[in-house]
Amino acid sequence: MAEPTVPILTIRDVSKTYTAQGRRTEALRGAGLTVQRGEFVCLLGASGCGKSTLLRIAAGFEAPSSGQALMWDKPIVGPAPSRGMVFQDYGLFPWLSVRDNVGFGPKSRGRPAAEIRETARRYIDLVGLGRFADAYPHQLSGGMKQRVAIARVLANEAEMVLMDEPFGALDAMTRERLQDELLDLWTRTGLTVLFVTHAIEEAIFLADRIVMMSPGPGRIEAVHTVDLPRRRDVSSPAFNDLRRMLSAQLHSHHAPKAA
């Protein structure tokens, strides 16, 4: 774009190498990416393409072996509330009620009790779980747990939400429903979303831009802008053309690895 705004996220030539038992694994090589504020970006690729590694580096859970990860042009040195993470396995605190899970972040930042309660209530309502504020995570379905996880990072004033295959463990109907709800939230709140998935359709349905990644070593292969109008019709010809194109590209990378 023309105006020189500072990107919310900058990934500059990032590589990541793990060494375990004397064996080096190159999880990510020379990845570069910028995300503007308010964008919805999907990282798409098969397992082993480094998409989760890239997300974890953006979150601050891991440091790059080389290169830089910046938020608002400042180095990311560790996890922070401004970058909320939504995990595939939810990561909810089982001993806390929905209310206290959502209030966990504000409480960590030393907010007064009344404000925590009010914030939690607002975001629990936002994800439609008002009736379940006092339930414990083990009493909730997968879709509801993931709603709690989303409310939890929103309640903590996250500017960017990092999602690691958040709907991967859900059944198809719940997944579609949550995709719609996520887009709705994104439109209303002006969040920035970085979303990891291996499902092509999910990426096309959600993203402004799709970052295609390929394995061995993990790297960014291509970036596609999706300019279909929302709400996107999964059965439209344009949607299917894009799906066919991405699918062909994805499979050409994985041909040697396919088993």
Q: What are phi and psi of 82, to 5 degrees?
A: -70, -20
What is the smallest separation between the CB atom of 140 and another protein, expressed in angstroms? 7
Beta carbons of 178 and 167 less than 8 angstroms apart: yes
* CA 97 centroid distance within chain: 24
140 makes contact with another protein (CB under 8 A)? yes
Footprint (CB under 8 A) of another protein, residues 194-253: none
Q: Which CB atom, from 121 or from 254, has the smaller least distance to another protein? A: 121
Asked if 119 contacts 155 with a C-beta cutoff of 8 angstroms, the reply is yes
Q: Using the minimum distance from each CB to another protein, give the nearer residue, 64 or 103.
A: 103
Does 92 bind another protein (CB under 8 A)? Our answer is: yes
Q: Which backbone phi and psi does 253 adopt, to 5 degrees?
A: -70, -35
Among 12, 30, 46, 87, binds another protein (CB under 8 A): 87
| 24, two tokens | 């080096």
Q: In the complex with another protein, which residue's Cβ is closer, 181 or 208?
A: 181
- Which backbone phi and psi does 185 adopt, to 5 degrees? -60, -45
Name the residue nearer to another protein (CB basis): 30 or 91: 91
End-to-end CA distance of the chain: 41
Options 63, 70, 169, 185; binder of another protein; rule CB under 8 A:
185
Question: What is the CA angle 37-31-61, rounded to 5?
Answer: 70
The footprint of another protein (CB under 8 A) covers 59-61, 78-81, 83-85, 87, 89, 91-97, 104-105, 108-109, 126-129, 131-132, 135-136, 138-141, 143-144, 147, 152-153, 156, 174, 177, 181, 184-185
